[in-house]
Structure 1
């Protein structure tokens, strides 16, 4: 699931538009078109001031482009150490969430053989 989300985010592209007035961020937009500051008092100030070098208001557009092509790696392209690590990681990760019982005890219903004589008494070995 997390790999699918990672691929979705890395392949999607989006545009961030920012509108600055007098060096301050006034408005930004992630997917839609940006609204200009016509109704903000900054727009009136910009018309009255004469700035020769730059405008009072400016727009900055950042485009984040996603990847189009993913290089497909084959298991044989990896070197031996990477293959061993990948195999050990997948086996241990699968065993982490494996909730099967360990094993069944086969001797639970075992009945001991019938004793004809007591061996300890016959051989006279007693624990003191």
Structure 2
């Protein structure tokens, strides 16, 4: 039972690892002067009130920093042909022996299928006075 749960936990952890390595996201930071105003992940950062005034005065003290974290674009898939000969031989032998391990049993005939027991003339338990209590 422990092995079953640990296998499930390990599988879920590996699937989250693959998901985390393939997801890409952006971190956007808004600075007003040297002060960090807002940080945002996945969406645009909120602008400060000073930026609206800067448009009128045409002075820029606000700046935006965008950090893009790229995920893995391609996952490596291996083919049977990519393995060397000894690995292919081991894999083929292992697969053959594993599949033959679960071979079904042949249907066996029942020789006593049509056998009818003899007719009882006397009840032997009552005759010998042997009773199961």
- The reply to whether TM is greater than 0.5 is no
Higher RCO (C-alpha 8 Å, min separation 6) = 1
Q: What's the TM-score, normalizing by structure 1?
A: 0.45
Q: What's the TM-score, normalizing by structure 2?
A: 0.43
Higher fraction of helix: 2
